[in-house]
């Protein structure tokens, strides 16, 4: 296992746990991915690695920006993808974004199916709060992002 994979695993686990527990991603997590990504790229490619990391960061930020602007994704998810972009570079980030979209789709379908089954058997999906608008309809997306990045790092061929 190289440093790139280790960084991806550690940051991905931290982001997934944080998102599942609190429904948000602490700022230190994408920053860790960003710092690790810049360090990895510079260590691998010398000073030209800076441009690879910058391009990856921009691509990661742009990959899901439209979903954030439409209200379907949180800012922490965008920052996390930008951090992973620095780690992967723009070329590999495209693959990670596709894997992430697939994993996110499966995650969303699983959550919808779980909620439907819970309603069918007459059990509330979650405790009924005093304020119905406080029920979180969001699905934590950091696990899908982490899985997408991990799958992009799996050797092919």
55-77: pLDDT as tens digits: 999 999 999 899 899 988 899 99
pLDDT of residue 111: 86
* pTM exceeds 0.75, yes or no: yes
- Which 3-state string (H, E, C) describes the chain? CCHHHHHHHHHHHHHHHHHHHHCCCCCHHHHHHHHHHHHHHHHHHHHHHHHHHHHHHHHHHHHCHHHHHCCCCCHHHHHHHHHHHHHHCHHHHHHHHHHHHHHHHHHHHHHHHHHHHHHHCCCCCCCCCCCHHHCCCCCCCHHHHHHHHHHHHCCCC
Number of domains in the chain: 1
Radius of gyration for the chain, computed over Cα atoms and rounded to the nearest angstrom? 17
26-53: pLDDT as tens digits: 999 999 999 999 999 999 999 999 999 9
Higher pLDDT, 1 or 29: 29
As a whole number of angstroms, the distance between CA 141 and CA 145 comes to 6
Domain that holds residue 92: 3-153
105-134: pLDDT as tens digits: 999 899 889 888 888 887 665 655 555 444
pLDDT of residue 126: 60
């Amino acid at each position: 296992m190289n440093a790139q994979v280790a960084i991806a695993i550690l940051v991905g686990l931290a982001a997934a746990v944080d998102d599942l527990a609190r429904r948000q991603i602490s700022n230190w997590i994408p920053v860790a991915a960003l710092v690790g990504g810049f360090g990895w790229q510079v260590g691998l490619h010398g000073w030209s690695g800076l441009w690879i990391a910058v391009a990856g960061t921009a691509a990661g930020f742009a990959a899901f920006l439209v979903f954030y602007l439409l209200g379907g994704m949180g800012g922490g998810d965008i920052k996390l993808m930008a951090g992973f972009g620095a780690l992967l570079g723009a070329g590999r980030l495209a693959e990670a974004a596709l894997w992430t979209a697939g994993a996110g789709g499966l995650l969303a379908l699983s959550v919808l199916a779980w909620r439907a089954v819970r309603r069918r058997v007459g059990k509330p999906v979650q405790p009924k709060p005093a304020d119905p608008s406080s029920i979180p309809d969001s699905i934590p997306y950091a696990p899908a992002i982490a899985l997408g990045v991990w799958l992009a790092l799996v050797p092919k061929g």
